Amino acid sequence: MAGAFSAVAATYGSRVEQLLETEEDYKRYHDKLNKKLRKLRHQLGLITKDTKNYSAKEKYSGLGSEFYDNENKLIAVLMLLHIERDMSIVEAIKLRSSKRGKLKKSERKLLTIRLKKAVDTSSRLVKVTSNESLWISRLQFLIVEKLINVENYIYGKHIKTKNSGQITANLSLVLVAIDFLSKKDLLSMAVCDYLKTKYEYTLNQHSGSNFNQSHLVNVMNKEVQKNADDELVKILLANGFKQLEDVEMAEESSSDEIQWRNFNAKINDSQVSQLISEAQSMKVVSVNDYDNILLKWQDSLNRQEAYMTFNEGHDDTNENDQIVLAYIKFHSLFTSISRDNHFFNKLIKRWEDMSKKSMSSKLVKYKEIERLVKNLIKYLVDVMELPGIYSDEQLMNQLELLKCYYTSQLNSHCLSRLYQENGKYLHALALHVDSLQKLEQALMETGDLNEIYIPDHILVEEKVKALYDLIQKSWSSIVGLAEYEKSLNKTSKNKSKTNESLIERIDTQRIKPGNVDLNNLFPMRPIIRPVGSKPTLFDLGFNYITYENETNTTSEQQKSIETKSDASSQNEAEQVSSIEQPKKRKFLGLFGR
């Protein structure tokens, strides 16, 4: 609807747009809200400079519905910004305490004060906007008020037993309202999903039972019927809201208990139970689904750790909670192993198709497989170190077999092939033999593989046997080449390029008794030595080469050269004689010959 103000988009939508996730994010958000509040107070003329008589001269507390209806509707925005500023501090404190596991006394006091201020401001906002004609704006003001009240019920009151009835009623009405607005394209789906993610598990926790999505719909329908006199419900019904039909509940096994190997444990936190159920019910269709499942397991892990930190002093449930924590870590790690195993199988298939590829491309592919195997081994080691795993001999043996399977694939199936193509058959044979021995040892310790305890079909008996047969076949195919390489190495040691004969050693080296060998008296093998780049022998020989056709011409040239040399020598002699016998000069230039 044109002209309708969205209070939910102005507050929670702003959080979604700015991706507020950490304590520092909310601190920066708080500073931005302060700047907006200063500008808006200036715009509304609510700045009081006389701080000594502030209570007498301030105007903000005296503004009511008349000001909103007749003068300026921005007063509602001002109140929303005040609420959001207080809630930004609340969210920052909650994030800080979640890292530590508990609230400090000063933090709890500040949290309570800010929540009380936000509740008072939201209540006043609803009163000021009581005459709002646009149902969309009025509905969202009511949504904000109910969400602030829920936060106050959960975190603001110092009582162990929360007001679960009020929390369930408020959250049910809010979730129904935002879903209605989202379907009518009056609220963005991102904001709707943000609020559902933030508050659905709280509704599950305070509804009195551990339920699924079908039960959640039934609870919300029940609350809408029960609170038919609430203004929010009246606005929804007046604008086309149709209540959903109740969903028949299927009989499902309770998910608040786990049976894992020889352990039985009860999940005390309903949110952890719900997250585990969601993670286990998710199906893997594409590779991206592994990441979604992993996020669910990580959320349940964080929630369980926070629950254990909060209930640290309860010794009677400590062992039970530790079992649940180990169970979550086990499945979280194996989700990562399943994802990497998927990539590993793909890379192995590509490796088998690279027989005609260049050595450089094979090295690149080998590095990828090696990096993936290292990750898989790390995850398996982390699983082995979990409480309750290292004492389970059958599971430990299968985990060791899985480790051996990955390392044998890398060494025998990939690395040995590179050595073999480079002609290093001894190295390739050593890798095959080592992998075969380790795999035989792991299979002997594991025993029968009819019952496999590793989840997600990662360890398959057929694959292990296929690898065992492949190593045996590869080993037998290169054993002859390895023996030939070994014999070549022995002969090259006895007759190496540097092993000179006895005659060659006489003038250059000392001869020891060990050097005297009848088979090595004379140099009987070709010796390769460096040759200069310039053909000097040809240059020397060229000076003595003559050709018949050129003999006459050369003799004539020689005679002409000799005559020229005789003439030149005679001229030189005359010049010398003229120099040696100078003319007689006249006496004083007057007398002469």
Q: Which of 134-148, 246-260, 283-297, 568-582 shows the lowest mean pLDDT across its residues?
A: 568-582
Residue 252's pLDDT is 45
Assess whether pLDDT exceeds 60 at residue 428. yes
Residue 118 — pLDDT band, cuts 50, 70, 90?
very high
Residue 51's pLDDT is 67
3-class SS of residue 510? coil
Query: What is the second-level CATH architecture of the domain 7-50+58-238?
Result: Orthogonal Bundle (1.10)
Rounded distance between C-alpha atoms, residue 528 and residue 368, angstroms: 43
Neighbour tally for 118: CB within 10 Å: 26
Q: Which of 130-139, 463-472, 584-593 shows the lowest mean pLDDT across its residues?
A: 584-593
What's the mean pLDDT in 10-39? 90
Q: Which of 148-152, 172-176, 217-221, 223-227 shows the lowest mean pLDDT across its residues?
A: 217-221
Residue 531's pLDDT is 58
129-183 pLDDT tens trace: 988 888 999 999 999 999 999 999 888 865 545 578 888 889 989 999 998 998 8
What's the mean pLDDT in 531-554? 58
Residue 339 — pLDDT band, cuts 50, 70, 90?
very high
What's the mean pLDDT in 220-237? 88
| High-pLDDT (> 90) share of the chain, % | 23
Residue 254's pLDDT is 43
DSSP assignment of 15-50, as one string?
HHHHT--SHHHHHHHHHHHHHHHHHHHHHHT-----
352-407 pLDDT tens trace: 888 778 888 888 899 999 999 999 999 999 999 998 888 888 889 999 999 999 99
For helices 135-151 and 164-183, what crossing angle results, to 10°?
A: 150
What's the mean pLDDT in 236-241? 86
Indicate the domain borders of the chain: 7-50+58-238, 257-490
Assess whether pLDDT exceeds 60 at residue 247. no
Tokens for 562?
Answer: 């000799």
Assess whether pLDDT exceeds 90 at residue 81. yes
Assess whether pLDDT exceeds 60 at residue 564. no
Rounded distance between C-alpha atoms, residue 455 and residue 331, angstroms: 8
482-516 pLDDT tens trace: 777 777 666 555 555 556 777 777 766 677 777 77
Residue 471's pLDDT is 87
Residue 88's pLDDT is 93
Contact 434, 404 (CB under 8 A): no
Q: 426, exposed or middle or buried, with CB in 10 Å at 0-12, 13-18, 19+?
A: middle
3-class SS of residue 103? coil
Contact 186, 1 (CB under 8 A): yes
What's the mean pLDDT in 451-480? 84
Residue 576's pLDDT is 45
Residue 560 — pLDDT band, cuts 50, 70, 90?
low
